[in-house]
Structure 1
Amino acid sequence: MGKSEDWLHVAHDPRDPNPWLALYLDASGPLADEVKRAWLSDAASRSRQFVLPVVRPLARLAIVLIQLLKILMPNDLTSSRILHRLIVWGMKTFVRPEANWLILRHFHLGSQVLAFIGANALPGQTLPSHPLKPADIDALRDDVFLQHDLNLFNFVINLNRALGGKPIEPPERPDFSMIAQPPLRLEDMPDRWTNFIDLQTAIEVYTPVYQLFLTDNDFWRATNSLQLDEVIGIYASTLLKRQDYLVFLNNKHPLVPLTTLRAGFRLVLHGLSTEMLHALLGRAKAEQEAKAI
């Protein structure tokens, strides 16, 4: 797992307990060990401790200023091509290996979750889809971030049109064939001395850049897509008859969209919710396979 902290060997001082060690040892969540190690190593970085508090208010100020600029020049600066090339350059040059690994994983996991819901909510039918499975950071140049947002809304629209107003019915034996760990390795991520920016700081920086190079409509749609976490969670938990899975969701409520100011923070929660849901689906798949033996 590359250079992620080996939390099992972190010394414990009862007079000065390590908060990250406590979160690593806590087993209430479903995250796999390798994911939790990468997530906590990133969260415990000096970048998150010292750079994020400076970057976050500046990024939110930039969002306000760009929103005002968009009123005067709504489409003059838009370019998805430039946006994705800037993001790719920034990720390869400045972002920590753990953060890059988690970002790439997110697109794979999101595609698998949607495929699971579609296959089990509409057995025998195939919904239009555009699965995202980037093999490396360079693959993100193909409008992957923008397509990810489109996929969520298109999926909800197509699924419910196909259901025709009927509720989702849990299958007798769910199909987990699409649920698997992405073929991505942490050790393959860029790891030069310049790669020090943590996940939350990177997302805070990218949010106003995202806003600048997208149309106002595209940016608002992207931020509103974060409200769909609860919707996707309800679909999956209904199919598995496990409403308790909804406790791991963070972006609520879908009918009360928030402003764009906290989009960066909510995007991190969206990423964690996706990891949690995918881990729960993986656990359910393992339980089903164990019963079949």
Structure 2
Amino acid sequence: MSQTEYFTKMSHDKRDPNPFLAIFLDRSIPFNEEAKAAYLKDCSSRSRQFLLPLLRPLARLSIILIQIYKIVLPKAFTSSKRLHQFLYWGMKTFVSADANYMILRHFYLGSEVLQFIRDNVPGIQVEMNPLKPTNLDPIKDDLFLNHDLNLYNFIINLNKELIAKNIDVVKQDHLNFDAITTSPIPIEPMPNRWTNFLDLTTAIECFTPAYQIFLTDNDFWRATNSLQLDETVGILASKIIGTNDRLALINNKHPMVPLTTLRAGFRLVLHGLATEQLHALLVELKHAQDSKLTQSI
């Protein structure tokens, strides 16, 4: 059974309507259908319903305690290599197949969104480092850290080019969609043993303290502050496509107002959804542009 069939074949009880079925059927939010089904199915799991309320307070308490620990021993036990080996092991062993699928999609789509922006600002040259994992193995090669570095380096290098060449980001009448994949992302089947029970949100909340303890305080703050760039990326894309009507659900807001690390896990989920929504919108626009070109021939 495909992910979408989980919802399309679900019965509807008028006296007890399924909230996730309602959200799945709603089309007001741009979202890849398979990914939307995977995410909502993951949200309806027992792990999210029963474990998340118990583990989230403990995870956030851990963040506070680790912050104090980092004041005394700022670089003890820090190792990006150990962090990513731990993340790889944890995702392979405990995280649900749907959650792992959504995490890998995020890296893939994030790379495509940044390349789309670069391709649609004429006159600039920004070197890209696309991350497109199709299985869990690339995690061991600093995948999460490189994802954050890519985002910062892209924003810095893009704006240096814009300033040096006196270029503005403006609406493009004909958009370059070469970077945007419309076919299914070729992600391999994820581990699905009895131990793979953690939903996406609970897994992120649990892994955030590990992220903090294995990174330097500077690296962890930089990683959490990168979430504030959702608004920046959304604004750049809206300028290029000429509308921001369907980008209103970006919730990691003003990039000049960094938040504390305490809610980093929750904000990371919002970050992933913002990327999904923007990429889905670009796919819609690509199909519409291709259709117009076909009709004009």
Q: How does 1:182-221 map to 2 (within 5 A)?
A: 183-185=185-187, 188-221=189-222
Q: What per-residue deviation string (whole Å, max 9, x for no partner) do you get for residues 30-72 of structure 1?
A: 1121111101000000100011111100000000000000000
Bigger mean CA offset, 4-13 vs 127-136: 4-13
- Structure 1 gaps of 5+ residues are none
- 1:233 and 1:245 in contact (8 A); partners too: no
| Aligned-residue offset at 1:134 | 1.2
- In the alignment, what sits opposite 1:268? 269
Establish whether residue 54 from structure 1 lines up as the match of residue 83 from structure 2.
Answer: no
| Aligned-residue offset at 1:167 | 2.5
**Cα distance in 2 for residues equivalent to 1:209 and 1:4:** 33
- In the alignment, what sits opposite 1:8? 8
Query: Aligned pair count?
Result: 291
- 2:29 and 2:246 in contact (8 A); partners too: no
> What's the TM-score once normalised by structure 2's chain length?
0.95
| Aligned-residue offset at 1:2 | 5.0
Bigger mean CA offset, 50-59 vs 14-23: 14-23
- In the alignment, what sits opposite 1:117? 117
- In the alignment, what sits opposite 1:33? 33
**Aligned CA distance change for structure 1 residues 4 and 282 (closer, same or farther; 3 Å):** closer
| Aligned-residue offset at 1:172 | 2.4
| Aligned-residue offset at 1:8 | 1.6
**Cα distance in 2 for residues equivalent to 1:5 and 1:52:** 26
Q: What per-residue deviation string (whole Å, max 9, x for no partner) do you get for residues 215-273 of structure 1?
A: 00000000000000000000001100012132131111111111000000000000000
**Cα distance in 2 for residues equivalent to 1:245 and 1:141:** 35
**Cα distance in 2 for residues equivalent to 1:61 and 1:167:** 44
- In the alignment, what sits opposite 1:150? 149
- 1:96 and 1:199 in contact (8 A); partners too: yes
- In the alignment, what sits opposite 1:137? 136
| Aligned-residue offset at 1:25 | 1.1
**Cα distance in 2 for residues equivalent to 1:10 and 1:183:** 25
Q: What per-residue deviation string (whole Å, max 9, x for no partner) do you get for residues 131-183 of structure 1?
A: 11112101111101001111111111100110015431222211001100563
**Cα distance in 2 for residues equivalent to 1:217 and 1:2:** 42
3-state SS, counterpart of residue 251 of structure 1: coil
- In the alignment, what sits opposite 1:95? 95
Establish whether residue 224 from structure 1 lines up as the match of residue 264 from structure 2.
Answer: no
**Aligned CA distance change for structure 1 residues 199 and 5 (closer, same or farther; 3 Å):** farther
Name the amino acid aligned to 2:154.
F
- 1:5 and 1:41 in contact (8 A); partners too: no
Name the amino acid aligned to 1:256.
V
Name the amino acid aligned to 1:26.
D
| Aligned-residue offset at 1:21 | 1.0
Bigger mean CA offset, 281-290 vs 167-176: 167-176
**Cα distance in 1 for residues equivalent to 2:4 and 2:50:** 19
Bigger mean CA offset, 48-57 vs 9-18: 9-18
- 2:42 and 2:200 in contact (8 A); partners too: yes
- 2:104 and 2:187 in contact (8 A); partners too: no
- 1:5 and 1:38 in contact (8 A); partners too: no
Bigger mean CA offset, 232-241 vs 4-13: 4-13
3-state SS, counterpart of residue 176 of structure 1: coil
After TM superposition, what 4+ stretches of structure 1 lie above 2 angstroms from structure 2? 1-5, 123-126, 181-186
- In the alignment, what sits opposite 1:283? 284
**Cα distance in 2 for residues equivalent to 1:75 and 1:87:** 19
**Cα distance in 1 for residues equivalent to 2:176 and 2:5:** 35
- 1:176 and 1:285 in contact (8 A); partners too: yes
Bigger mean CA offset, 62-71 vs 130-139: 130-139
- 1:101 and 1:184 in contact (8 A); partners too: no
Establish whether residue 176 from structure 1 lines up as the match of residue 172 from structure 2.
Answer: no
Q: What per-residue deviation string (whole Å, max 9, x for no partner) do you get for residues 182-228 of structure 1?
A: 63346x11011111100000000110000000000000000000000
**Aligned CA distance change for structure 1 residues 235 and 127 (closer, same or farther; 3 Å):** same
**Cα distance in 2 for residues equivalent to 1:79 and 1:131:** 23
**Cα distance in 2 for residues equivalent to 1:12 and 1:25:** 12
